[in-house]
Amino acid sequence: MIKFNKSDKEKKQKEDDKLQLGRRQFLKGSGAALGAAFLVACGAEPAASPTAVPTIVEKAATVQIVTNSYKDVVLRQIGTGVSSYNEVQEKVMEDLGFTVQMTALQTDENNQRAITQPDSWDVFDGEYFSLPLIVPSGNLLALDTSRIPAFDSISPIFTTGKLRPDSVIAQGTAPHKVMFVEGAGSTTFATEQTGYATLIPTIYNADTLGYRPDLTGRPIESWAELLNEEWQGKTAILDIPSIGIMDAAMVVESAGLMSFGDKGNMTKEELDQVTDILKEYKAAGQFRAFWKDFNESVNLMASGEVVVQSMWSPAVTAVKAQGIECVYAPLKEGYRAWGGGIGLNSNLEGVALDAAYEYINWWLTGWAGAFVGRQGYYSSSPENAKKYLTEAEWDFWYDGKEASVAMIDPFGTELEPAGALRDGGSYEDRMGSVVVWNSVMEEQDYLVQKWNEFIAS
């Protein structure tokens, strides 16, 4: 249940009172003219006095004001690129009547800009693991969840950390840990649900290794394969410290080279040990490359320069779209997961703020969730996304059933033929097997230092 403290209730009531007063003041000056026009349009005789204007005129006038104002709104969005598509921009304009300008950045750049250049953006499209870095800056607005009609449809992964009541909460910065702040204007994470959220979740996935089955000649079933000498010089790992270190931890632990107390919050000693192992394998020529965005990983895999690597779902999709075999491996040790959402600049106000809330709500209505779902992502509101997916698409992407027809990506390219099965199975199989989430650790500065030493070695 969403809880509001007393001061938040009082503040919200004052804001509502101001809004009603503003409407009454507007109607006092123009209500008669608007009311007469409205009634004539409906075939009725206008009232002789402004006091006779019915309540519906106030609603009609308010809607007209908002609609006219939205057409001039331009929201500047920064994000990592996983949801920055021309098709999404065009659909927002078509459905809502205003413009969202999307700038795709690498994860570290996205976070840095959110913290150091708040005047350059209105909408932050980022990952939950980044929030311990960004929220203390005060640049993110504490989002009023009462303005999100579909909030109750959001997957419990984001609100409780559990897919099912008996689920074990995974290690790392699980989204629910940084989902809520204590109140309006707060930069302190709440330990339970409040009425104020950091981000409203949009998409998420369970990440793993990608591989070329035509080049490996056999299935890849363990994270440890990234260090298998059989693939020496043909593997790659993600070069974003906070994420790459998680993949590395899964790899070295699976290989039996070391163990961790908590892969999502490593000690300095554990960071020393894991990066020493990585340096040793790098010196031996195990890695072909270290990539920062999925386009790099697509090129590495499609060209055959690598056969096994850290990979993201759209990268696997993009390789398949070229007619090249590529598998997103359901590894026996489980998945590393990530979750993304939309936040707003704390400086937004007035019509721009109203439009920004409408944009967030639009993401939860289903069209956008279905769009990214055809690439293998999951929607934070699965049931709403289901409304925009065919039965065959839902069965394949969410239920893990055999494709009854060919699966087509959002851009019209065939990804899977009829009869195919999704790598890893159903939504519950995949998200139910998450063992760690992308994280920001207590020793974050030391982590970045050690990771950069590894890359530079």
Helices (H), 42-144: 55-70, 86-96, 107-116, 131-134
pLDDT score of 31 more than 50: no
pLDDT score of 312 more than 70: yes
Residues 442, 445, 451, 457, Cα dihedral to 10°:
-150
Amino acid letter for position 71 = K
Higher model confidence: residue 60 or residue 186? Answer: 186
pLDDT at 445: 95
Question: pLDDT band at residue 84, thresholds of 50, 70 and 90?
Answer: confident
Per-residue pLDDT, averaged over 433-455, amounts to: 95
- Compute CA distances 386 → 92, 156, 201, whole Å: 19, 17, 17
Main-chain dihedrals φ then ψ at residue 13, nearest 5 degrees:
-65, -40
pLDDT at 318: 87
Q: Where in the chain are the domains?
A: 6-70, 207-337+404-456
Per-residue pLDDT, averaged over 413-442, amounts to: 93
pLDDT at 7: 46
pLDDT tens-digit readout, 118-171: 999 999 999 999 999 999 999 999 999 999 999 999 999 999 999 988 899 999
pLDDT score of 49 more than 60: no
Quote the pTM value: 0.80
Higher model confidence: residue 135 or residue 315? Answer: 135
DSSP string for 416-440 = E-TT---TT-SHHHHHTTEEEE---
**Average pLDDT of every residue of the chain:** 87
**Rounded-to-integer distance, Cα 129 and Cα 134, Å:** 10
Helices (H), 326-390: 350-364, 367-373, 382-386
Question: pLDDT band at residue 39, thresholds of 50, 70 and 90?
Answer: very low
Question: Which of 188, 257, 208 is CA-nearest to residue 228?
Answer: 257
- Are 388 and 376 in contact, with CB atoms under 8 Å apart? no
Amino acid letter for position 19 = L
Question: pLDDT band at residue 34, thresholds of 50, 70 and 90?
Answer: very low
Per-residue pLDDT, averaged over 319-324, amounts to: 90
Question: pLDDT band at residue 82, thresholds of 50, 70 and 90?
Answer: confident
Per-residue pLDDT, averaged over 404-419, amounts to: 93
pLDDT at 4: 37
**Rounded-to-integer distance, Cα 172 and Cα 177, Å:** 9
Alpha carbons within 13 A on the beta-carbon side of 315: 26
Protein fold of 207-337+404-456? D-Maltodextrin-Binding Protein; domain 2 (3.40.190)
Question: pLDDT band at residue 450, thresholds of 50, 70 and 90?
Answer: very high
Radius of gyration of the chain from its Cα atoms, rounded to whole angstroms:
25
Q: Which residues pair with 200 in a beta bridge?
A: 342
pLDDT score of 48 more than 60: no
pLDDT at 226: 98
pLDDT at 70: 84
pLDDT tens-digit readout, 212-252: 999 999 999 999 999 999 999 999 999 999 999 999 999 99
Higher model confidence: residue 170 or residue 321? Answer: 170
pLDDT at 106: 86
Per-residue pLDDT, averaged over 77-84, amounts to: 87
Higher model confidence: residue 54 or residue 209? Answer: 209
pLDDT tens-digit readout, 242-292: 999 999 999 999 999 999 999 999 999 999 999 999 999 999 999 999 998
pLDDT at 75: 98
Higher model confidence: residue 106 or residue 430? Answer: 430
pLDDT score of 58 more than 70: no
pLDDT score of 18 more than 90: no
